[in-house]
Amino acid sequence: MLLLAAVLLALHLPSPPSLGLACGSTIGPCDRVGVAVWLRRPARHVVVLLDGRRVVLATGRHGSGRYAPGRFWQGFLRDRRVAALAYTHGRVTVSVRATFSGGRVGTATAAATVSQGYG
């Protein structure tokens, strides 16, 4: 049986990923983090790694420009450690893996600036 390996390509992001503490009005330490990624062209599937945590992102059905479906991806996770890293350092390294039509896979690693309030 022949297994085909995915061809990994360098993924060029038009802007760095965005990371935000999505705490709302909770009392106490924040543990919810939102992450957003913009791509130059539409993808079928996007996954990011934040401090070793795998987060599957979603894209909307509607949008325009920078927020077009397949080009804008976002997701959330609950992790006090990632939230604390984000809050303490103001930047977190994000590894992005995007799967495009035809099975091509692009990868990139970038520093995401952290902002207060997300989603």
Question: Tell me: the pLDDT tens digits for 24-62?
Answer: 655 556 778 889 999 999 999 999 998 888 999 999 888
Rounded to whole angstroms, the Cα distance separating 78 from 86 reads 13
Rounded to whole angstroms, the Cα distance separating 25 from 3 reads 49
Which domains can be identified in the chain, with CATH numbers? 8-116 (2.60.40)
pLDDT at position 119? 55
Please report where in the chains the tokens 């503490």 appear, as a residue.
21
Rounded to whole angstroms, the Cα distance separating 116 from 18 reads 11
Question: Tell me: the pLDDT tens digits for 99-116?
Answer: 998 889 999 999 888 777
pLDDT at position 37? 94
Q: Which candidate, 29, 22, 30, 38, places its Cα nearest to that of 119?
A: 22
